[in-house]
Amino acid sequence: MDYRRTSYAVWEITLKCNLACSHCGSRAGQSRTKELSTEEALDLVEQMADVGIKEVTLIGGEAFLRPDWLQIAAAVNRAGMLCSMTTGGFGISLETAQRMKAAGIKTVSVSVDGLEATHDRLRGKKGSWQQAFRTMNHLRQVGIYFGCNTQINRLSAPEFPCIYEHIRDAGAKAWQIQLTVPMGHAADHAEILLQPYELLDVYPMLARVARRAAVEGVRLQPGNNIGYYGPYERLLRGGGEEWGFWQGCAAGLSTLGIEADGAIKGCPSLPTAAYTGGNIRDRSLREIVEQTDELRFNMVAGTAQGTEHLWGFCKTCEFAELCRGGCTWTAHVFFDRRGNNPYCHHRALTQASRGIRERVFLKKQASGLPFDNGEFALVEEPIHSPLAENDPLRFTADRIQWSDSWGDRWWDEVISREAIAS
């Protein structure tokens, strides 16, 4: 029975949050109406174990603002599933970290979205950067394995190499990165989004940092909207492994997203309205996973129907049958439909070779609900045509902040050789 196809769940246990991030897709802040009770949450833990989930990541909002969060974490652990957590890290004391360890939380990812001023600006609270690093120190003291996650946009991208050095020095062993896309609050701040043509300068930077991270013991983990068949794909996605490349959206295939009121999606990032298969208050998790179209849309992968949803550039791409339009979430929140992903390195390179530059601009505002999106228009223009002058956040390679430690070409060559060898 194919309901056992899922293995990983990301569970928003509350939408309540103590930060106010300008790029927050869920517009977190206040609790959702009718969030699951403790009894309902513990029942859902058993249902997740029953359908074959192996790991559950607790998120928010801010997960620790839910009073019974450690009771839920302990139940996940007792059910034989690995319990992890993603946090903004604002307010986790040493005592809280000790309680997390006792509850069985195995790994934690702390959000770091820039150097101090940028991070605090994006996170909407002064002192949030220092609090995040204080949390990492507490996790290290109690022996919880931790990494970081970073949103890449026009504010954070220039600081990317320096961000790496800070999280490495803090003891992070893994680093998940993803491109900021226009969902929720980020849809209201389109000026911070990278333009598709700017990926041409983003990816060489990511590759250079990834090579160094591999040598220095930090595992870079690209999110689902990073990459796609450019020259750095295997380096970024698979650490150089032959089969380490994008192989299509896994929403509903190996992942589940769970909202705090019991709504079930195939991926935690997907827009709620378009991709919710049901609610565990109305149907069992097994029924939702096994029977609803919203969680089965990727089941046609590898069939003739697997590419019918593609349009635009993605419909013509030589990787169409394997890629299937890249990250569903990214395409949908740009164009209000899946199947044409503007955040693709291969696409940017191909268009540049044709003398084409792609830009996006907002044509329809988001509604203001959690996990909502507006709609963008896509412009194709000659690659050397003038760009608007009043665009102070435009990203170019010469804006990247490389510290002195990156200045030795010999060191770059050592990194490249060792990363390839590993």
- How would residue 239 be classed by pLDDT, with cut points 50, 70 and 90? confident
Measured distance CA(273)–CA(275) in Å, rounded: 6
Measured distance CA(185)–CA(219) in Å, rounded: 29
- The predicted-structure confidence for 304-324, as pLDDT tens digits, reads as follows 568 999 999 999 999 999 999
- The predicted-structure confidence for 51-62, as pLDDT tens digits, reads as follows 999 999 999 999
- The predicted-structure confidence for 39-95, as pLDDT tens digits, reads as follows 999 999 999 999 999 999 999 999 999 999 999 999 999 999 999 999 999 999 999
Which tokens is 373 given? 């999106």
Q: Which of 145, 146, 83 is nearest to 111 (CA)?
A: 146
Q: How many CA atoms lie within 13 A of 149 on its CB side?
A: 16
- Per-residue pLDDT, averaged over 198-216, amounts to 97
Read off the DSSP letter of residue 192.
G
- How would residue 412 be classed by pLDDT, with cut points 50, 70 and 90? low
- Per-residue pLDDT, averaged over 180-209, amounts to 97
Measured distance CA(221)–CA(180) in Å, rounded: 15
Q: Which of 149, 146, 154 is nearest to 164 (CA)?
A: 149
- Tell me the three state secondary structure of residue 273: helix
Which tokens is 368 given? 């203001």
Strands across the sheet containing 82-87: 219-222, 174-179, 145-152, 105-111, 82-87, 55-59, 8-12, 255-258, 263-265, 276-279
What is the pLDDT, as a whole number, of residue 422?
A: 44
CA angle 324-325-326, nearest 5°?
100
Beta carbons of 89 and 111 less than 8 angstroms apart: yes
Pairing of strands 255-258, 8-12: parallel
- Burial of residue 421 (CB within 10 Å: 0-12, 13-18, 19+) is exposed
Measured distance CA(339)–CA(136) in Å, rounded: 38
What is the pLDDT, as a whole number, of residue 301?
A: 56
- How would residue 238 be classed by pLDDT, with cut points 50, 70 and 90? confident
- The predicted-structure confidence for 273-307, as pLDDT tens digits, reads as follows 999 999 999 999 999 999 999 999 998 655 556 89
